[in-house]
Structure formats: C-alpha cells, structure tokens
Structure 1
C-alpha cells in the first residue's frame, strides 16, 4: 500500500515537473541576470584582491538570496497544483514582498555554511592524528545536515506565511527532525539532479565546453528545478502543519479570552451551521447505531437532532 502511494506521488511529481518545465526555465532566465551580475562582482573582488577563496565566491548568496525569493514563490505555486502560474508577476511579487527577510536568510545561510565547512575541515585534519576527534567531526557533520534540512523550509515558509522570523526558524528547526523522511526525499531528488548535471559535464572533454556547460546549467537549469524538487518533497506537510498549528493557537487564544471574561466552559461553541440537507436518515428505524459522517462516528439520534436544528435555522432565515 505504501509503495503504491509512493509510486503515485512520484508519477505526480514527474507529471507536474514536465508540465511546468517551460515556466521553470523562464524562472531561471529571470534569475540568471542577478545571478550573473552578483557572481561577476565577487569574481572581480576575488581576483583583484588575490585572495582566491571559495568563500569570497560564496558571498554571492547574500545579495542573491532576495532574488531566490522569486524562484521560491513561483515553484511553491506550482507544487500547490495551480495551473498556468504567472511566472513574471509571482517572481517580482516574491522579491518585493520578501527581499529584506531573504537578505537576512542569506547572511544566516552564509554563516552556517562557513562555520560548518571549516569545522569539518579542521576536525578531518585532527582526526587523522587523533581518533578522539572523530566524535566532534561526526557532530559537525550532523549540525551541517541540520542546517541543510532547516533551509529546505525557511524559503517556502517565508513566502507562504506572514509569521515572525523567530517562528520561521523555530518551525523550520522542528520540521528538520519531525519531517525527516520528507527531508531525505528532498536530498535524494537533489542528488539525482546533480548526478544528471555531473553526467553532462563529464561528457565535455574540452575545457572551454566544460565552462560553457557549467554556466548554462548554473544559470538556466538548476535553480528553479532545485527549488521545485525541495518544495515537492516538503511543501504539503509544511503547509498542513503550520495551518494546523495556527488553528490550535487561535483555539488556545480563545480559551484564554474566555477566562478573562469569566467564562470557564470551553465546550460552549458557536451553533453548528453545517448544512445536513444531503444527509439521508430513516427517523423511524429502530436502534441507535453509530453512523460515519463527515469523518466522524456519530450516533444516528444525534445526527437526526443536528439535521432538525439545521432545518429550523434555515426556516427562520
């Protein structure tokens, strides 16, 4: 049963991917311009200063991340199943509404990668001399994975929900552990994507062609496909959990308000306004068996009562 469900989900993923492929490529075209400009600036800085550091190049992520908000906005609409997503308006809207938050996300992401990378390099060197350093090495790798999984959730959560930054990171951290299976699905999809890219690059035996293909993949293929894969793996559960949590939070707020107003009976709910007109019940039947209705098991007598109350409210209007 689980394998059938996974097969259906995988089929749906590829169907959506190929259906939205032209829009994903257009999204990459919009993202390519700021990508090329920002990378070019830091390339010049790295060259002119003579530092030749990979992390000078990686500084590109900080000013570029606000533009990734546009990519995330587009792909999040796609994985929600929306047809004919307007790429341009969603891309620009995602940037305008979220640029400041994504700038902060870029700084935090850069710091996380910087610290994780050099910590792992340090303990790899030390562990080759003393086996005791394998313990902090493993710990650093686990922390790096934690940051990776957390940043699966930070971008889509930011563009989808109007919640505080601390809540974005708190929820993302919780889902890093709680949604571990879906995080692994995302990692698997990313590995497949980069294996495909690596296969293409390995087929180029001329250095110039290798550079050209790398630029084409980085600018016009990878960013939106990567975002689509991650969102396909984690978005549905993330959305459901945040909405459900928000609903529970409002319920708690309502109870606290009731306490302040001297009301201590939390079972007093607003009258049920559900329409039971489509419910066919035999009121003359004997017995009071349970009936499955609207996702719940309820006694027939109780359903008859709810139906009559609904009809009375309807007649009064």
Structure 2
C-alpha cells in the first residue's frame, strides 16, 4: 500500500462490522494506528459484546498493524470522552475521527413510538456530536499550546438524510442533522487546523440488506458494487494529510462512483419590499416552484 496515513492515529466508531470494519482495516493498511470502537449491539441496538471490535483489532495486528479495542457507547458523554482518551493515551495523539456508529428502528411515522425515535436520534446524532465535541476540545488545546494540528473528522450521513426515506423518519432526521452538524463543525474548527466532511454511503451491511435485497450478490468474478470496502478509499483519503483543502462537504459513495452532494441552496426569490398578504402568495409560490429545480425524490416514495 501507499502509506497514505502512515503513523496517523484514527478512531473509527461502529467499526466491528460492515462499513466501519472496512474503514478500520483500510486505514491500518495505509499505516494508521487505529482505535476500533464498537459496543457490539444487534441491528436494533439491543445487547452488547466486545467480540466484533476485538476481532477487527486481531485482524489488523495479524497483518502487522497497530490497533486497540474500545467498547464505549459513543452517545454517552463520558463514554465518548473515554474513547478520545483511549487514542491519546495509547498512541500519544489523535489525528482522525471517523463517526460511523448507528443502528435502525424503522417504522412508518404513524407507528413510530417515542422510544424508537429517541434511540435512533441518540445513537446517530448525539453519537456523532459527543466524540466530535471531545476530539475538538483536544485539538483546540493542542492548537492553543502551539502544537501543529492537521486533523480530520469524517461523519456518516446517508441518502436518507439528504433526500429522505419512507419508513425511516427517525433515521432520516438524524442523518440530515449530521449533514448540518458537519457544516457547522467545518466552519468552527477550521481555525484549529481541523477539516470536517461527511459521506453518504450506499453499501451492503446489516442495516441495508433489506433495501439492497435485489443487488446482494455480485456476478461471478465481477465487481461487487455493494461491498462495504468500496466506501473506505474516500474515507481514508479524507483522513489523510492530502485532503487539507477539503472541508464542509458531503460526498455520496456507491460502488465505484463518488459524487459531491449539492445541499440546500438559496433558490428563486420574490421580494415586494413590504409584508405580503396571505391571499397574494398563491401565484408567487407557483412562480417560485416553476423557476426552481425539482426536488430529488424521497427514497421509497411512490414513483421514485
């Protein structure tokens, strides 16, 4: 391999399986020292086991790399602090935080209960914020102490967060929040030498096996477009020193395709210079819609 991340210290959350596991192994192949975080829960977030994280660590070590296990809950404030401290205490510093952990509790909105909403918002959105907050505090302190910082954060949003997904109101809301958090963090942390970007991956994992049921298997000897390993090269590059000029961006990644998502932008406008009357706004809105680009369809919606 190229050694693109030689000696960089990387945390990957949710790294025991799926895309997170692929990220951890890919960073290690490029010379990074990796903190493999995973609580080992089931698809719906129940149960816990240190086994998945430890297996990835053993794979990395067997290949000659350096890695350590962490099983803290990333959405727990103190647990997130311990996670960041694991990197610093084990390897002497932290260079890259990859926020990836999450689970699903899918329901149509009329059936979604409060606990299912809270659990998914917590693990995805707070589970991004808490490690980011503790890592940012460390990098700010390093910067203020005069020590050079060239750090990276890669968050994990989703097409569900960018376009919405029927039956996933909680997940879509959390992933949209992650995209917004990425923009704010990129603006706030640039002064400390930190870039913050996000990916919206499409790959075959426990969380997506139903959505990709028709594309689960690759042709014999062919390119497996849904393999989680396809997502990791961009994440590794974003975690390297080469990506220092890229921040505040969201990339969609699927198979061999990488695209830059274009988020909410100021569109067509009408300004009368005074307060509108409600009765006046029908034709105004119709004109704005006529001049606007049509929205991307919601995943799973009729006709999409």
- TM-score (norm. length: structure 1): 0.25
Report which of the two has the higher share of helix. Answer: 1
TM, length-normalised to structure 2: 0.26
Considering fraction of residues, name the structure with more strand. 2
Who wins on radius of gyration, i.e. which is larger? Answer: 1
